[in-house]
Amino acid sequence: MAITLSGDQAMPGPPLSSRLTPAQVWGIVLLAPYLLVFLAFVVYPVCYGLWLARDPANYVALYNDPIFARAAINTLIFLVVGINIKMMIALFLSGFFAVQRTWIKWLSVIFILPWAVPSIPTILSVRFMLNPEWGMINHAIFSLTGDDGPNWLNDPTVALCMAIAVHIWKSLPFWTLILITGRLAISHDLFEAAEVDGASWWQKFRYITWPSMQTLYVTCTLLSMIWTLGDFNSVYLLTGGGPADLTHVLATLGIRYLRLDQLSLAMASIVCAMPFVLPLVYFMMKRLSR
């Protein structure tokens, strides 16, 4: 090979370009496209956004905007209540789908559908189902009880709950799938031994399943929280932030300010979310990159 032939005449202190092996030069060339994308579409927008949000007056304006406070509370409810309910259901269903039955196998194929189809048409479908006059749900309530059903999306609390339900509908299959993977990784011998010892269903869960899955479960919950912070569709397409801007979350608030032509407020509202996002991200990165 060429390198061994020229090895005996190596010069002391060659320039940087020749100190790199051809493989490393290729490495830099191959890494360049991503770096360019990163610089142009991550670094530049982030810096530009921070520059737009530099004026402290923006933060005073945000602080005085009741919609902002409401959106922050809604986001917190969405994360703390919504995600925990979702992950508990996912944990429960992962046990259900781990049962060996042909029909459960088929059901698991159907169960993935919400994750596989785009969210826009299904969210709009739910939106019409909840229509107080024409929707399927209030028709059903009327024919069963003879009473008019509630005006679902016109009450901020109910509307937010519905947005959370839509979010759960959409992302439950994904997390269930991941927890099934975790559950199937547990050695079957443990359960057989527990069976022999006459352990109850709860004891098996408490002493075998949960200890093996708790790390995965916590990781999933945190990851889901970070991603849900960016869940724009569930709220925007179902309620549009209404009624009276009372169901906004941080992800939709930026767009609201943008529409009102208050760009610096839009950026400032995102900057305000960073103290909550960054520690979560840092924690996740430590966890995932060893």
Partner 1 sequence: MKLPSLRDVATEARLLLIGIPVFLWTMIPIYHMFLFAISPKEDAFSGKLWPDHPTLHNFEIVFKQQHYFLRDFYIQFWNSTVIAVSVGVLTLFIATAAAFAISRLKVPGGRAVLNLALFTYFIPAAFLAVPMYRTMGNYGLLNNHWSLILAMVTIASPYAIWVLKQASDKLPVELDEAAVMDGATTLQIFRLVYLPLMMPSLVAIGTYAVLLAWNEYLYAFLLLSNDREITLPVALGNFLAADDSPWELLMTTGFIYALPPAAVYYAFRRYMVGGLTAGAVKS
If the CB atoms of residues 91 and 267 are measured against partner 1, the closer one turns out to be 267
Alpha-carbon distance 146 to 281, whole Å? Answer: 51
**Nearest of 197, 201, 205, 137 to residue 165 by alpha carbon:** 137
Alpha-carbon distance 282 to 250, whole Å? Answer: 20
If the CB atoms of residues 91 and 237 are measured against partner 1, the closer one turns out to be 237
Do the beta carbons of residue 67 and residue 253 sit within 8 Å? yes
Could you tell me the CA-to-CA distances from 56 to 52, 173, 212 in Å, in that order?
Answer: 11, 43, 48
Residue 60's identity, in one-letter code, is V
Do the beta carbons of residue 249 and residue 74 sit within 8 Å? yes
If the CB atoms of residues 91 and 266 are measured against partner 1, the closer one turns out to be 266
Alpha-carbon distance 68 to 73, whole Å? Answer: 9
Give me the least distance between CB of 63 and partner 1, in Å please: 19
Give me the least distance between CB of 155 and partner 1, in Å please: 20
Give me the least distance between CB of 89 and partner 1, in Å please: 10
Give me the least distance between CB of 174 and partner 1, in Å please: 8
Give me the least distance between CB of 40 and partner 1, in Å please: 8
